[in-house]
Structure 1
Amino acid sequence: MLVRLAVAVAIAAGPVWAQDTGADEGRDLFLYFCAECHGKDAASLGPMAEMMALRPPDLRQLTERNGGEFPIEAVAKQIDGRQPVAAHGDMPVFGPSLDEDQYVAMALPSGQPMMVPRSLHNLIVYLQSVQSHQAGAE
């Protein structure tokens, strides 16, 4: 019973906290871990992209490529290495770099909570924020 209550509180508090700091902290993580390949604007035009066998995907189009819904679970699993995608190319697994003691609940489209390290949560929040900017730009 206490575990269910703790998860419910974490889910309820998580989105409010994420709106305040998640995207900013996630952008910093993105620039540190991801921009070399995916570009500073997440458009796949990082300095390493030309040297890769497969071009990194444009991360601003994740929602569009997923039928209009941001694929939270798939993004989390690919970043932390739980679901490596061979067709993606040479993406390193960042799970160990993003692992920490503080976990945050993210609500999946089904409503099911998914617990992820706070840093991974922030990175996902940033990627979600990039989706809305891309949709308005085109």
Structure 2
Amino acid sequence: MGIAMTGSPGFAQSRAGKSAEPIGQSSYLANCAVCHGAGGQGDGPYAGYLTRKPATLTTIRERNHGIFPLEYLYKVIDGREMVAAHGTRDMPVWGEVFRTESVQDFWPWGSEQLVRGKILELIYYIQMIQEK
């Protein structure tokens, strides 16, 4: 049985009077928006250079009959476990990118935990931008 999310993701707490930034937003803007667009519409500045249009991320729940497919998205973003139905992979393997970054940063508790956290932050943000 897969994992599906129906609740709302959390938000980072405000610090020093700043408004709260949704969890994963800065990571999304740094890693995903260049192709998927700042609003998740598949219209990022690099979209026109790709052989396949990037997915629209705001209708994932709608396309899955009201269910947000966390486990499926985790595998897509992580990329280290090939999903046969995807065919060739156009999107970067973020799991490997995040692992390499965490090793370079000398993450003391093991890079895999950091990779999982970064991927889950992205998924929470993508869940938040779903159209109502």
TM-score with structure 2 length normalisation?
0.69
- Relative distance call for 1:101 and 1:92 in structure 2 (3 A) is closer
Which residue number in structure 1 is paired with residue 28 of structure 2?
A: 30
**What number of residue pairs does the alignment pair up?**
105
Q: What runs of 5+ residues in structure 1 fail to find an aligned partner?
A: 1-14, 104-115
Which residue number in structure 1 is paired with residue 49 of structure 2?
A: 51
SS across alignment from 2:12: helix
For 2:112 and 2:51, locate their aligned partners in 1 and report how far apart those are by CA, in whole Å: 36
Letter in 2 for 1:95: G
Identity percentage of aligned residues: 34
For 1:98 and 1:66, locate their aligned partners in 2 and report how far apart those are by CA, in whole Å: 28
| More strand, by proportion | 1
Which residue number in structure 2 is paired with residue 96 of structure 1?
A: 96
RMSD: 2.6
Stretches (4+) displaced over 6 A: none
Quote the offset at 1:65 in angstroms: 0.8
For 2:94 and 2:38, locate their aligned partners in 1 and report how far apart those are by CA, in whole Å: 18
Quote the offset at 1:101 in angstroms: 4.9
SS across alignment from 1:42: coil
Deviations 1:19-44 (A, max 9, x none): 13297341111111111100011110
Cα pair 2:11 2:23 within 8 Å, conserved: no
Cα pair 2:10 2:22 within 8 Å, conserved: no
